[in-house]
Amino acid sequence: MKRTTWVALCFARRFHSSALAPSVSVFLVLTLGVDPLHASEHRIWEEFSGDKALVHVERLVDLGPRPPGSETIDKSRDYIERELRMFGWQVIRQAFTGDTPRGKVRFLNLIARFRALASTAPSFLLCSHYDTKTFDTIRFVGANDGGSSTGLLLELARVLGLHPNLAAKVELVFFDGEEAYENFSETDGLYGSRYFARQLADSGTGKKFRGGILFDMVGDHSLDVTLPTDSPVEMARDIFASADALKFRSYFSYFDREMTDDHTPLNAIGIPTVDMIDFDFAWWHTADDTIDKLSAQSLQIVGSVAAYYLSEFALKQGADF
């Protein structure tokens, strides 16, 4: 039934500007028994593919460990950029040098905006980190930690790209240097998001963003997304409502404490940002954070809930949260 509805909508949209539109829609309604007028125009959550997201993660993991400043992170960057461009996004490289416990390291955030619709400025951030933690003693490929959220964000980019009016309201950010070399502190970890937030604050352009979602570790086949207690209350409520609408509510709950992650610097400069994270992952920061621990179904659940939330709450006309 849902599939049938979607076929009707696709055709109706394709013929929208054509003089044939009314007759084609009527024909499809009669043929398929579906009334496009009563279906939501943007059921974008049905277009999200967990399988496609997982393919992106596989491509990244196949490159091997991707720590900041490495040749492999360069390659992962090229991959992310190539895919984004294919989906209609323009990519800006935000490069900077950070002081780390291992000396100066060159980091590079990727910022993507949908090909310019002059009338719309992005007002919502969707973020993921794409670096993997630096280890000297293990081979860490970060399938879940660094890979899963990046794959999911690339698939969201594809889906949003099919709806230019929605895509134009969004800025995608792929952070480098999320991981700490030693321990998270004011000066170690979150290099990319701290730099990104500081640039926004210093230039006074942060105000244009009304909110954001950070994805992190969202591919565990035993999915249990826990929103940290520092999540902006209204956003968390609407995300739970989105999960409920899609019958995925049981996969989402509150975490029992705050979380330090790339959303922290954004919240600190006044951009309410939720961290969609499943921190209950037995292989976290081990050599066993590998692709076999992930499932397309988990990516599908998080991706469709996020898409539903964007379409029905955050990016909805006149939305205010």
Q: Which residues bind Zn ion (CB under 5 A)?
A: 145
**Cα 274 to Cα 187: distance, rounded to the nearest angstrom:** 22
Pick the closer one to Zn ion by CB: 47 or 145.
Answer: 145
CB of 216 to Zn ion, least distance (A): 8
CB of 52 to Zn ion, least distance (A): 24
CB of 104 to Zn ion, least distance (A): 22
Q: Which residues contact 247 (CB under 8 A, 6 or more apart)?
A: none
Q: How far is CA 85 from CA 68, 101, 128, 172, 318, in A?
A: 23, 35, 17, 12, 29
Q: Are 294 and 221 in contact, with CB atoms under 8 Å apart?
A: yes
Pick the closer one to Zn ion by CB: 145 or 188.
Answer: 145
Pick the closer one to Zn ion by CB: 298 or 304.
Answer: 298
CB of 49 to Zn ion, least distance (A): 25
Q: Report DSSP state, residue 36.
A: G
Pick the closer one to Zn ion by CB: 123 or 132.
Answer: 132
Pick the closer one to Zn ion by CB: 46 or 179.
Answer: 179
Tokens found for residue 24: 């084609």
**Cα 259 to Cα 227: distance, rounded to the nearest angstrom:** 9
CB of 285 to Zn ion, least distance (A): 6
Counting every residue written for the chain, the total comes to 321
CB of 127 to Zn ion, least distance (A): 15
Distance of CA 70 to the CA centre of its chain: 23
Pick the closer one to Zn ion by CB: 98 or 211.
Answer: 98
Q: How far apart are the first and last CA of the chain?
A: 33
Pick the closer one to Zn ion by CB: 142 or 211.
Answer: 142
**Cα 139 to Cα 137: distance, rounded to the nearest angstrom:** 7
Partners of 276 in beta bridges: 215
Partners of 105 in beta bridges: 98
CB of 277 to Zn ion, least distance (A): 10
Tokens found for residue 199: 């640039």
Pick the closer one to Zn ion by CB: 145 or 278.
Answer: 145
CB of 274 to Zn ion, least distance (A): 18
Residue nearest to Zn ion (CB): 145
Q: Report DSSP state, residue 150.
A: H
One-letter-per-residue 3-state SS of 153-167: HHHHHHHHHCCHHHH
Sign of the dihedral defined by the CA atoms of residues 125, 56, 179, 101, in that order: negative
